[in-house]
Amino acid sequence: MAQAIGNVSIITLILFVLCILNHYKIASAAVYAVGDAQGWSFGIQSWPIGKQFHTGDILVFTYPNTRHSVVVVDENGFRTCNSTKGQEFTSGNDQIKLQKEQNYFICGKPGHCAGGMKMTISAA
């Protein structure tokens, strides 16, 4: 009987530690200002180079909302600059959480994506 109680205690302790570690991972997500001081703008494609992104990290897109938007698209939408199937953000101060693997972002205003206002980010 004492060994069964000890096993339950060990399992409970392990579950508790796993919950704490999971909470720490969520709480420690990095926040990135897209484009740094320049914000979400043309020529943004090289901004992610040299940065290490993780699932759950948050990107903050800052831009004049009368001139730009942010659309989260799939690979095809990124390649073709087609925003019709994506999720559009228009506040000018959008916070978007990175998903695992590739994340694709384009500006939804006509001609902006084709003009280079798009980027892709890989999150581990």
CATH architecture observed for domain 30-123: Sandwich (2.60)
Domain boundary assignment for the chain: 30-123
The partner residues of 96 in beta bridges, in order of sequence, read: 59
CB atoms within 10 A of CB 120: 15
pLDDT at 8: 53
The partner residues of 103 in beta bridges, in order of sequence, read: 121
Q: DSSP string covering the chain, please?
A: -HHHHHHHHHHHHHHHHHHHHHHHHHHT--EEETTGGG-S-TTGGGTTTT--B-TT-EEEEE--TTT--EEEE-HHHHHHT--TTSEEE-SSEEEEEPPSEEEEEE--STTTTTTT-EEEEEE-
The pLDDT tens digits of the residues spanning 83-117 come to 999 999 999 999 999 999 999 999 999 999 999 99
- Does 123 have pLDDT greater than 70? yes
Q: Give the chain's mean pLDDT.
A: 87
- Does 21 have pLDDT greater than 50? no
